Structure 1
């Protein structure tokens, strides 16, 4: 008996580091390996990536996920498309097909789940997944949701705010967001520390309301915000950003003056990342004038990179 306990204790030290496929195979070795491989303490972190999954498969996993703290679902795919099935019918028939399994999984994890990340699972996982999280994952701390087919909307955002009050990190793909969504985020999660938002509908007014409400923000990413000039930067700094140490601007047309203002006013800023393309600034990016003006913008940013005090930040 002592030897069995020592063996199981050793397996408990190793099995939590195995991926799902390896754990399922380990359960087939012998009864002791089966006992450990199916123990909820081994399934505290569930990561499924680049795989075809079904609702039935997730339902099977859920019986061992009563202590799961982290769930990562990235680039999952449904069944293959049948020969007599059009692409449109395929997307229609597989839409949300995995969500019944996700619901059982989230219900099983319950209050243990602290981290949920769903990215690039188009059609098979919709924003209903987040509505399910608002029902079962009341202690959720970090949430990432990126979907090209079903972006997060205001209704689901409101449900999340009502059900998951402890979220401190929210990352989502900015497509349908506007000022109304930004105001909802500020009201629901005033203790946010990390946030990624954006979209053409996000204006200065909504961003100002957001940073005023979320005074503890440390990491802020603005993606595809229509314009971020000196006036907008000044308004944001007056409203908040006192605790921000990392500012990431992704495909957001920003001016050199705005970057200088952020750097001079935000005392805790340690890193500013800028990723832009010519299409972010101009409606006709292929025109000669647009190319010339964008070249000047890039030169300005490169000059700022070499500026004393900014070279280690930008």
Structure 2
């Protein structure tokens, strides 16, 4: 054995003795309850490391009370059935929240064991757990009647049977996400609405089989709804929005993007009844006009976030109404609103609301916008980001001028590179536009 190796080993032994003495002192000086409280602030990785320090810390770290909230998203590719089953037995009734988003290896059997052992779960995220079927929802319904939040987004195998099971056994549900579950129909949503009347948030992006009747029953039975996302529910018509406005006056967030059958009648009824509306997303609702947004701006003065992308019929008149009627507007998307001009941006940018609150403005593919629009935004002192992709009348000079007044703003735009001299190219050469962050 070399001298260096001997010295290193001796130092290691000394440090080990010192640590064990300190550990013993810690364990003697601090009561178990206080140590457990300290451990309760650690994440899963830190708890596992602490469990390897000593027998005493192993007991403390693996105490079920420290495992009331588990987030396995960062370990999703490594989480298989036996891992979850061991966690379930360890946590037992202490577990309140578990996030399993993207844990693709998990099966119904593992979730059944979880439900059996951890029947006090209130929040479970199973988003993108694609192997799960209705059997999982039935297990949660049978054992976890305290469940309040469930995320089944992109669990493509589930059907109406899952929603009917949750309606039967989980009447305390407040938040449900069934986005991209293509097999869900109006039958499942109606059952859920009738059994879970405490719903506050409902997300069903891409559920193309959802109907006016389903939304109507949901609205009439769940009047506490404050957040609804119906993105891509393409069969919905104005009657669905009428039901929401009539029965859910406290709506704060509503997404109707890609519901292309809707008309101004939807915006008008929202304006009449939903005065608390904070966020409205209506991208690609191509039948909306200035008339609908005028009504909205006059009555929904708390609006802070608006996504009007591809509302192709709106003009500068909409921006004038928003400038006058929505003093708290923070984020506005006007991408592909090709009738918007510098005058509309001037009305918006010089309004008191924009100067105080506007932080994000999207103007992608607004072909009539010029550098003059950027000049109208220099008084928007809180503007953090502006999108200008494919605004071909915007120049680098205009952007630099804006940045002189707003040095911290992020500008996303692209420009065609300079055309090379004829001698350096031939007739068939094409130059693509390059994307830049300015």
Q: Separation in 2 of the partners of 1:218 and 1:116?
A: 20
Q: Which residue of 1 aligns with 2:124?
A: 46
Query: CA–CA distance in 2 between the matches of 1:29 and 1:296?
Result: 51
Contact 1:19 1:47 in 2 (8 A): no
Counterpart contact for 2:166–2:192, Cα < 8 Å: no
Matched, 1:202 2:262: yes
Kept after mapping to 1: 8 A contact 2:68/2:91:
no
Q: Which residue of 2 aligns with 1:298?
A: 367
Deviation per residue, 1:235-276 (Å, 9 max, x gap): 3323x1211111112332243442343133211212212343
- Residue 160 of structure 1: CA displacement? 0.8
61-70 vs 6-15, which moves further:
6-15
1:164 and 2:233 correspond = no
Q: What CA distance in whole angstroms lies between the structure 1 residues aligned with 2:71 and 2:220?
A: 35
Q: Determine which structure has more spread, i.e. the larger CA radius of gyration.
A: 2
Matched residue, 1:25: 83
Ranges in structure 1 where 5+ consecutive residues have no aligned partner: 79-96, 282-293
Relative distance call for 1:29 and 1:248 in structure 2 (3 A) is closer
Structure 1, residues 131-185: CA drift from partner, whole Å, max 9, x if none? 12212111011111122541x2111112112211110111102412322222221
Contact 1:26/1:34, CA 8 A, preserved across alignment? no
Stretch moving more, 51-60 or 224-233: 224-233
| Matches for 1:1-314 after TM superposition, within 5 Å | 10-19=63-72, 25-28=83-86, 32-33=90-91, 36=94, 38-41=117-120, 43-50=121-128, 51-78=130-157, 98-110=159-171, 112-123=172-183, 125-150=184-209, 152-173=210-231, 174-197=233-256, 199-238=259-298, 240-253=299-312, 254-276=314-336, 297-300=366-369, 304=373, 307-308=376-377, 309=379, 312=383
Deviation at 1:68?
A: 1.3
* Aligned-CA RMSD value: 3.5
Alignment partners' CA distance in 2, 1:194 and 1:246 = 9
| Change in 2 beyond 3 A, CA 1:29/1:300 | closer
* TM-score normalised by length of structure 1: 0.74
The structure-2 alpha-carbon separation of the partners of 1:222 and 1:301, relative to structure 1 and needing over 3 Å to count, comes to: farther
CA contact (8 A) 1:242 1:267 kept: yes
Shift of 1:191: 1.3
C-alpha distance in 2 between matches for 1:99 and 1:246: 33
Separation of aligned partners in 2, 1:142 and 1:207: 21
Match of 2:389 in 1: none
Shift of 1:215: 0.9
CA contact (8 A) 1:249 1:274 kept: yes
Q: Aligned with 2:369: secondary structure?
A: helix
Query: Structure 2 CA distance, aligned partners of 1:27 and 1:104?
Result: 23
TM-score normalized by structure 2? Answer: 0.55
